[in-house]
Amino acid sequence: MPDKKYVYLFADGAAEGHGDWRNLLGGKGAGLAEMTTLGIRVPPGFTLSTEACLAYYALGNRYPDGLWDEVLTALGCVERSLGATFGEPNSPLLLSVRSGARESMPGMMDTVLNIGLNDQTVEGLGAAAGDPRFAYDSYRRFVTMFSNVVMGVQHDVLEALLDEAKARQRVTHDSDLSAEALRDLIAVMKARVQDVTGRAFPHRPWDQLRLSINAVFASWHNDRAAAYRRLHGIPDDWGTAVNVQAMVFGNRGEDSGTGVVFTRDPSSGEKYLFGEFLPNAQGEDVVAGIRDPKPLTALRHRFPGIHAELTQVCQRLEQHYRDMQDIEFTVQNGTLYLLQTRSGKRTAPAAVRIAVEMVHEGLIDSREAVMRVQPAQIDQLLHPMIDPQASLQVLARGLPASPGAASGQAVFTAEDAVRRHENGARVLLIRNETSPEDIRGMHAAQGILTARGGMTSHAAVVARGMGKCCIVGCRDLVINESAGYCRIGNQMIQAGDALTLDGSTGQIILGQAPLVAADLGGDFAELMKWADSFRRLAVRCNADTPEDADIARRFGAEGIGLCRTEHMFFAEDRLMAVRQMIVANADETRQEALAQILPMQKDDFKAILRIMHGLPVTIRLLDPPLHEFLPQALEEIGELAAYMRRPAREVRRRVEDMRESNPMLGHRGCRLGITDPDIYRMQVRAMMEAACELKREGIEVELEIMVPLVGHVEELAIVKGHIQAVAEQVIQATGVRLAYLIGTMIELPRAVLTAGAIAREAEFFSYGTNDLTQTALGLSRDDAGMFLPPYIDRQILQHDPFVVLDEEGVGELIHMGIKRGRGSRPDLKVGICGEHGGEPLSVAFCHRADMDYVSCSPFRVPIARLAAAQAALREEAAAEEGAASHDD
Amino acid sequence: MPDKKYVYLFADGAAEGHGDWRNLLGGKGAGLAEMTTLGIRVPPGFTLSTEACLAYYALGNRYPDGLWDEVLTALGCVERSLGATFGEPNSPLLLSVRSGARESMPGMMDTVLNIGLNDQTVEGLGAAAGDPRFAYDSYRRFVTMFSNVVMGVQHDVLEALLDEAKARQRVTHDSDLSAEALRDLIAVMKARVQDVTGRAFPHRPWDQLRLSINAVFASWHNDRAAAYRRLHGIPDDWGTAVNVQAMVFGNRGEDSGTGVVFTRDPSSGEKYLFGEFLPNAQGEDVVAGIRDPKPLTALRHRFPGIHAELTQVCQRLEQHYRDMQDIEFTVQNGTLYLLQTRSGKRTAPAAVRIAVEMVHEGLIDSREAVMRVQPAQIDQLLHPMIDPQASLQVLARGLPASPGAASGQAVFTAEDAVRRHENGARVLLIRNETSPEDIRGMHAAQGILTARGGMTSHAAVVARGMGKCCIVGCRDLVINESAGYCRIGNQMIQAGDALTLDGSTGQIILGQAPLVAADLGGDFAELMKWADSFRRLAVRCNADTPEDADIARRFGAEGIGLCRTEHMFFAEDRLMAVRQMIVANADETRQEALAQILPMQKDDFKAILRIMHGLPVTIRLLDPPLHEFLPQALEEIGELAAYMRRPAREVRRRVEDMRESNPMLGHRGCRLGITDPDIYRMQVRAMMEAACELKREGIEVELEIMVPLVGHVEELAIVKGHIQAVAEQVIQATGVRLAYLIGTMIELPRAVLTAGAIAREAEFFSYGTNDLTQTALGLSRDDAGMFLPPYIDRQILQHDPFVVLDEEGVGELIHMGIKRGRGSRPDLKVGICGEHGGEPLSVAFCHRADMDYVSCSPFRVPIARLAAAQAALREEAAAEEGAASHDD
């Protein structure tokens, strides 16, 4: 006898498995074992474990020693339980074989029903049921299904034969074919299968069973299943369990039927039995769409006793599993059988409502409620969405870069967006790709659509920051900017035509689709309050404007972790002065331009600091290369030259001279602070004056000044010297005592390596994981669109590293930097302000890395709060588990 | 009494210091102590140690306890030795105060002579010497020097008074002024000093001494000295020693004089006394250029006794120090005094000749000879150089990017370079900056000059690779390409005009300067043979052409560490096919183009592998982004479109689509191998067919196939699969058994972090330190020219990190990658193929990091060989020292 046990029986109110052995038995197998143990009526059967599956793969698709013996033994028990024998010509036992992985992968893997039928047993089944037509219909279904799933015959090959038979018999419905007609059809089908495959249709029930099990094992590796796993982050090496179970028949007459029921409404979360029932039918008929299922009330009317029993079973299962259940059942000749129970999939609003109501019902505690809602899901709740009832004309799809939905007039230039917006129109900005020069247009627009770029292109990042809906990389979009139209798929769109974007799905919809607004109160607010009570990580926001700061505060942000000052430079009222400052060769002209910008920047800071009163605000000194602010079009260069009263040729030459081959790695960040210290001095003066004036008004200010792109401690030391000099001047001049911190971004590998030295100068670290990912991986965010998609398809990378933090690479750098930084400054404050700060997996990483806070775009603040809470709860659970195992 | 000793006496044939206490006493002080101990006649004196200097700085420019007492005590000994007293009016002792750091910093710091003179002592000096004019002249010199050095009076202020005095007396030479005239002049000077500085000229000798010592301490921090240290890599925190010594006078009459002598010719290395002598003069007269010094033969004629004594002393010092000495001496009234001895600076040819001849003389061993030549210096030996005798019209200077000298006609386009070259002309290519499209022009040119770019710009890197002389970043160069001329400084240069470039100094010279050729035999060959016997690191070359490979082999390369395949793509005969391959949308067209390129690439490989027979050759698969090969000019796009028979608009659009924001971080390296595997397949086929065919001819081939830009082990695994598949096909088809290695570049931080996993797939690592520096520091090599120079000026960085490896950042990554890589594959072969592989400090790092080899451009191979030998010898010495200290 082998040591290993591969097969787990469930029959007669007892099961060898348990409900929490999902890893071993799969979700379905664990549910069947659990229901059996609970005394719920389940057709008896057994589960081949995932270990059996993996052993089968490991042996090159052969059964490990002992597996088949265990199958025979378990089948013997099932036979005894039902008093019927598999393969026995009189009153034969029939079996189903179903896949069942750890996580539900609906419809992805294979199923075979009615196994055990052949030309002999079909007669026995007919006699026992008193219904030969039923028996032959079951046989016909079996041959069709087995040929397709196990023998690889295309579906339409046998469908065609069925259609021919119906034509020959002059009938419309399958159910109109007589037993004889079906028998003839089956013979034709088997002959055809042999023709196509070169193999005979197996006659012996044992062969049928074995081949079906093998087919389910193999189906784990089919393309559909592999794609689903990739999409849902399910590892390839889990394998699937296989459930072999006695057949029950919902098609044994008018007192039979089949159905599905949810214990609560999966769309709204409301508590009532929600489901469908199809009388005299097998489950596959529902799938095939041959007949429309009826609502559950039909069951109540027709079989009130069954309905009452089902209601009680549902309650029991929900209580038992303490979660909303998705249940499959079959009624055979007036007897209710449960075929499956699992936690039901649900929409975001339903997830929140169910979690909160279950706490109120005492079914779960608030910890569990917080774990029940997927952080990524709640993004949907924060934005307006397209009315789910609306029917839509979808023109094309792009990448869903920033969620929410928006309708408006199509425009193709930032200028047009601004103009129409000023005239009161709602507009959607459509561009090949966006650049910093489009910022004003993006602000004016309701949503943004681009033909190029990926999830972390300029458009995507800026739109998420603004909380605007955005679709990028739409390959079916061709823009003719100068002619003022574009083509989306086959549809020509003129400037001004109405479109709707769904940034949550990537759909581009013709016309104005009806939208529904977000509701942040009620259950949602309650759930978030619980989440906040569990988390250790603080959650801040990335906000560059008072509007952003305001939204973020309403979404629960506990400060600003990144206030970029460059977007302020693009505002129309100062762009000319900014450009003059950059292009000026003479120190005097530059000083003059800076003096012009100072009061405007001060007002910006004042507005933001006022909104965030009492909370920390991290302001980053200018980061992008100066050439990003310069015009490229000849006409604009001319305007600038005229404004500066310099020859256009000279200005053009200067613009050209400043161009860089790799701006990402160029003259930016604190490098500007070293070569052009006056810009930083102006910014520090603006923020310090703003802070001191507010403080004098009695408003609390917690200012944190952040130096970007430090790679060497000396850079920080020099810039810090400039900051302190100006700050002290302002403090002296205003007489206001203001404490402030000076810290740095950690976004270069060299900064990580020398974090010990840098922390001696820096009072806080903020990981700029966008740039740290770019440098650590040598990967330009703007250019990765050409090769990242195939990388993810081929699983070279599990995720887009600009979306989900690359823990193996960038994550190790983060750990290293924190360790070294806190090694020389134990109370070093550490946060993250890259895009990853609002992505749940990455937030969990930040929690584990022992950061103090994450910072993300305003609309991701609730997601980060929830993800941070879950990370803390998961850690708590792991600690308890560790303590428990230690007690043993 | 303080514990610390700060002052070290040397007098009467005994010294408290030793010759090898350079760190404590400075070079000069150690030399004086040593000479004194040897019994050589040195004016008595004492040295304030560098520790005294550092203590003085640490106390905010105040003397530490006990220092002044030690000075007084030592001065007492000097007084007793000479029987004269400092400050005594009759026959006073006069002193000099001179700086002396660990490393000689000639002329950088301050000196004060004739200290101790005032209106009283000057009379005593005059009486004792029997020459009042001499005494007043010394006094005048002292007042001038002290006012300038100690009191900060500009030189010309007192010079003007001297000139006025001479005018008043109607004399031309200083020496024509009488004692009385000098006395009056001194009074005027002192008054003037008080006017200018607000302080009286100090009368008391002790004040003069103290202030002079302070001034020398302070001079360590003057701008001149700081700049010199930066240039020569001398740390700021060494400080300087101060030597206080009794004055002797070379200006005491016709039996006096002063001179400098080298024990061997510092220019050629030839063994004879080489020097200059100036009768009746002080050393400063030589510096001031008032009188021309005479060759040493003048001394022999005038004072054969002194000359014989000097010859003997020189021999003795050279024997004692076992190195060529640079000696200062003074003859006072027929007595020879030695003032200084130090190892003499020398040219590269002299360094080699002296080192080798000293071995033959039995003075040093071959280990020491190898340590005596600076690796960077020998670069000069490998290239033709401008005849040092020639007089030159230098138009401007740029950065000396690639050494050697070249003359030729100025040309402004690659096409013109090729055309004139084909007509037999020697040309110099002059461009704003170069790009890969200029490669053919660069090949055709003798030298390259650019207006923009830094030491590691495209032009610099490629030129060094080609061993061609190159000057980059010449700010005084303005090119008008279309008009066919340029302006260098004030000179207009037409296409075809003759210029000479000196890539070793950065000088641009009008006309054709005379050149002298390199000689690699004789002493040089002998020295390199010794070096090779000591080193552990192998030295390979970076070579892309048979020509490069040939040069490198002659220079002693032990293989090719980097053969870039992209330069081959630019060759005229295949560029069109390459472009077609890139632009082709249809797979068929692409295959066709690849089939066209295959035989050409195969021939390239064959030629290189044939030259390198028996040595390993690492061929890197295509690395740059494909768009680098595409034309940008409309005309060229049109040509390509015509060649491909496609509409120009379509080709232009494709070219535009392929542009990248940050090509350095873009779609390149193994990313191409994943998305466009056919290119790599073609390359592997070409190299394997080449290798197999050669092997069949009986030529030994050691092929190493290198995959660039790996960041994730999966990338390497996939590309490796492709390589192996093609390689096996070729091996099968040819029937030749060929072993080959597959390895990877390590040039991304993520590759370092995951080196353990990558080493499971890679048989060797080659550090691409150019890209690793770019990514680790977030620094674009092409764009750093804007801010790196101020970074180095301000010592934020000690060196340009693209020239000298950044050990703190990139170096730690290299250590980490080697540790992790060898952790999973103990016999992993590790090398470096970045530009750093030929830079001596970086080569030493590679040795310490336990790499197997370095690879560098052909002309740097001898440098790397020497640097590797020195690293090994240094390690050996440290180990011996460690063992010795362990024995204690």
Q: What is the 3 state secondary structure string of A65-118? A: CCHHHHHHHHHHHHHHHHCCEECCCCCEECEEEEEECCCCCCCCCCEEEEECCC
Mind telling me how many Å the CA of B151 is from chain A's nearest CA?
Answer: 32
Nearest CA in chain A to B782: A661
Span B630-639, average pLDDT: 89
What is the pTM (predicted TM-score) of this model? 0.82
Residues 698-757 of A with CB under 8 A from B: 709, 711-712, 714-715, 718, 747-750, 753-754
Count of C-beta atoms within a 10 Å radius of residue A34: 23
Query: Is there a contact between B586 and B594 (Cβ–Cβ < 8 Å)?
Result: no
pLDDT at B754: 97
pLDDT at A729: 96
Give the residues across from B450 on adjacent strands.
B431
Whether the predicted pLDDT of A181 surpasses 80:
yes
Nearest CA in chain A to B662: A662
Contact between B778 and A667 using a beta-carbon 8 Å cutoff: no
Q: Which of B666, B784, B790 sits opposite A780 (nearest CB)?
A: B666
Q: Please report, for residues A29, A47, A225, A333, A343, the alpha-carbon distance to residue A101 in angstroms, rounded to integers and kept in the order given.
A: 9, 11, 11, 31, 14
Choosing among A230, A456, A661, A772, which should be mutated to test the B contact, i.e. which has the most B CBs within 10 A? A661
Span A379-404, average pLDDT: 85
- Rounded to whole angstroms, the Cα distance separating B422 from B777 reads 43
Q: What is the mean pLDDT of chain B?
A: 91
- Rounded to whole angstroms, the Cα distance separating B207 from B201 reads 10
Contact between A791 and B674 using a beta-carbon 8 Å cutoff: yes
Q: Please report, for residues A111, A146, A153, A192, A210, the alpha-carbon distance to residue A196 in angstroms, rounded to integers and kept in the order given.
A: 22, 14, 7, 6, 21
Span B826-837, average pLDDT: 95
Contact between B674 and A790 using a beta-carbon 8 Å cutoff: yes
State which amino acid sits at residue A785. Answer: G
- Rounded to whole angstroms, the Cα distance separating A458 from A455 reads 9
Please give the ipTM for the structure prediction: 0.81
Give the residues across from A92 on adjacent strands.
A85
Per residue in A46-90, pLDDT tens?
Answer: 999 999 999 999 999 999 999 999 999 999 999 999 999 999 998
Span A201-218, average pLDDT: 95
Query: Is there a contact between B746 and B752 (Cβ–Cβ < 8 Å)?
Result: yes
- Rounded to whole angstroms, the Cα distance separating A868 from A843 reads 6
- Give contacts of A747 with chain B, Cβ < 8 Å: 778
Contact between B797 and A661 using a beta-carbon 8 Å cutoff: no
pLDDT at B74: 96
Q: What would the 3-class secondary structure string for A455-481 be?
A: CCCHHHHHHHHHCCEEEECCCCEEEEC
Mind telling me how many Å the CA of A823 is from chain B's nearest CA?
Answer: 17
- Rounded to whole angstroms, the Cα distance separating A48 from A24 reads 9
Residue numbers of A annotated as active site: 458, 833
Residues 435-494 of B with CB under 8 A from A: none
Give the residues across from B7 on adjacent strands.
B48
pLDDT at A886: 61
User: Using 50, 70 and 90 to split pLDDT, how confident is the model at A542?
Assistant: very high
Nearest CA in chain A to B791: A674
Mind telling me how many Å the CA of A751 is from chain B's nearest CA?
Answer: 8
Candidates A694, A754, A761; CA nearest to A724 is A761
Q: Which of B709, B790, B806 sits opposite A778 (nearest CB)?
A: B709
B170's torsion region: left (phi>0), alpha (psi -120 to 50) or beta? left
Choosing among B786, B799, B813, which should be mutated to test the A contact, i.e. which has the most A CBs within 10 A? B786
User: Using 50, 70 and 90 to split pLDDT, how confident is the model at A685?
Assistant: very high
State which amino acid sits at residue B790. Answer: P
Whether the predicted pLDDT of A454 surpasses 80:
no
Q: Which of A660, A750, A771 sits opposite B776 (nearest CB)?
A: A750
Q: Any CB–CB contact under 8 A between A677 and chain B?
A: no
Residue A435 token pair: 């650049």
Q: Any CB–CB contact under 8 A between B809 and chain A?
A: yes
- Give contacts of A795 with chain B, Cβ < 8 Å: 714
Query: Is there a contact between B468 and B489 (Cβ–Cβ < 8 Å)?
Result: no
Q: Any CB–CB contact under 8 A between A83 and chain B?
A: no
Mind telling me how many Å the CA of A471 is from chain B's nearest CA?
Answer: 19
Query: Is there a contact between B51 and B4 (Cβ–Cβ < 8 Å)?
Result: yes
Mind telling me how many Å the CA of A668 is from chain B's nearest CA?
Answer: 10
- Rounded to whole angstroms, the Cα distance separating A529 from A533 reads 6
Query: Is there a contact between B743 and B829 (Cβ–Cβ < 8 Å)?
Result: yes
Residues 811-850 of B with CB under 8 A from A: 812-813
Mind telling me how many Å the CA of A670 is from chain B's nearest CA?
Answer: 11
Strand order in the sheet with B240-246: B14-15, B7-11, B45-48, B240-246, B95-101, B111-115
- Give contacts of B810 with chain A, Cβ < 8 Å: 750
Task: Give the three-state DSSP class for B64.
Answer: coil
Query: Is there a contact between A241 and A26 (Cβ–Cβ < 8 Å)?
Result: yes
Q: Please report, for residues A320, A571, B31, B113, the alpha-carbon distance to residue B101 in angstroms, rounded to integers and kept in the order given.
A: 85, 57, 12, 18
- Rounded to whole angstroms, the Cα distance separating B701 from B704 reads 10
Contact between B779 and A665 using a beta-carbon 8 Å cutoff: yes
Q: Any CB–CB contact under 8 A between A775 and chain B?
A: yes
Query: Is there a contact between B622 and B706 (Cβ–Cβ < 8 Å)?
Result: no
Q: Which of B749, B787, B797 sits opposite A675 (nearest CB)?
A: B787
Give the residues across from A516 on adjacent strands.
A385
More confidently predicted of A835 and A871: A871
pLDDT at B1: 45
pLDDT at B505: 85
Nearest CA in chain A to B719: A796
Whether the predicted pLDDT of A223 surpasses 90:
no
Task: Give the three-state DSSP class for A859.
Answer: helix
Query: Is there a contact between A6 and A51 (Cβ–Cβ < 8 Å)?
Result: yes
- Neighbouring C-alpha atoms within 13 Å toward the C-beta of A664: 27
Query: Is there a contact between A155 and A141 (Cβ–Cβ < 8 Å)?
Result: no
- Rounded to whole angstroms, the Cα distance separating A52 from A49 reads 5
Q: Please report, for residues B18, B29, B47, the alpha-carbon distance to residue B213 in angstroms, rounded to integers and kept in the order given.
A: 22, 14, 11
Whether the predicted pLDDT of A841 surpasses 90:
yes
- Rounded to whole angstroms, the Cα distance separating B396 from B506 reads 8
Q: Please report, for residues A278, B542, B544, B759, the alpha-carbon distance to residue B619 in angstroms, rounded to integers and kept in the order given.
A: 68, 10, 9, 18
Count of C-beta atoms within a 10 Å radius of residue B18: 14
User: Using 50, 70 and 90 to split pLDDT, how confident is the model at A286?
Assistant: low
Residues 135-174 of A with CB under 8 A from B: none
More confidently predicted of B291 and B136: B136
Contact between A775 and B778 using a beta-carbon 8 Å cutoff: yes
Q: A342 φ, ψ to 5°?
A: -155, 160
Choosing among A674, A774, A786, A815, which should be mutated to test the B contact, i.e. which has the most B CBs within 10 A? A786
More confidently predicted of B461 and A618: A618
- Give contacts of B787 with chain A, Cβ < 8 Å: 667, 671, 674-675
pLDDT at A458: 78
Contact between A780 and B715 using a beta-carbon 8 Å cutoff: no
- Rounded to whole angstroms, the Cα distance separating A645 from A640 reads 8
User: Using 50, 70 and 90 to split pLDDT, how confident is the model at B231?
Assistant: low
- Give contacts of B663 with chain A, Cβ < 8 Å: 661-662, 780, 783
Contact between B715 and A790 using a beta-carbon 8 Å cutoff: no
Q: Please report, for residues A379, B117, B401, B442, B473, the alpha-carbon distance to residue B493 in angstroms, rounded to integers and kept in the order given.
A: 66, 58, 22, 19, 18
Q: Any CB–CB contact under 8 A between A780 and chain B?
A: yes
- Rounded to whole angstroms, the Cα distance separating B255 from A597 reads 75
- Give contacts of A780 with chain B, Cβ < 8 Å: 660-666
Longest dimension (CA), chain B: 105
Nearest CA in chain A to B779: A665
Choosing among B719, B746, B779, B805, which should be mutated to test the A contact, i.e. which has the most A CBs within 10 A? B779
Task: Give the three-state DSSP class for A347.
Answer: coil
Query: Is there a contact between A290 and A175 (Cβ–Cβ < 8 Å)?
Result: no
Q: Which of A715, A777, A787 sits opposite B674 (nearest CB)?
A: A787
Q: What would the 3-class secondary structure string for B672-701 be?
A: HHHHCHHHHHHHHHHHHHHHHHHHHCCCCC
List alpha helices for B439-545, DSSP H.
Answer: 439-444, 458-466, 522-534
Whether the predicted pLDDT of A725 surpasses 50:
yes
Contact between B809 and A715 using a beta-carbon 8 Å cutoff: no
pLDDT at A1: 45
Q: Any CB–CB contact under 8 A between B667 and chain A?
A: yes
Per residue in A322-360, pLDDT tens?
Answer: 999 999 999 999 999 999 998 888 878 889 999 999 999
Residue A458 token pair: 């300029």
Candidates A344, A325, A273, A351; CA nearest to A523 is A351
User: Using 50, 70 and 90 to split pLDDT, how confident is the model at A105?
Assistant: confident
Weakest mean pLDDT among A458-467, A645-654, B224-233, B285-294: B285-294
Span A125-148, average pLDDT: 92
Nearest CA in chain A to B784: A666
User: Is B670 in the active site?
Assistant: no
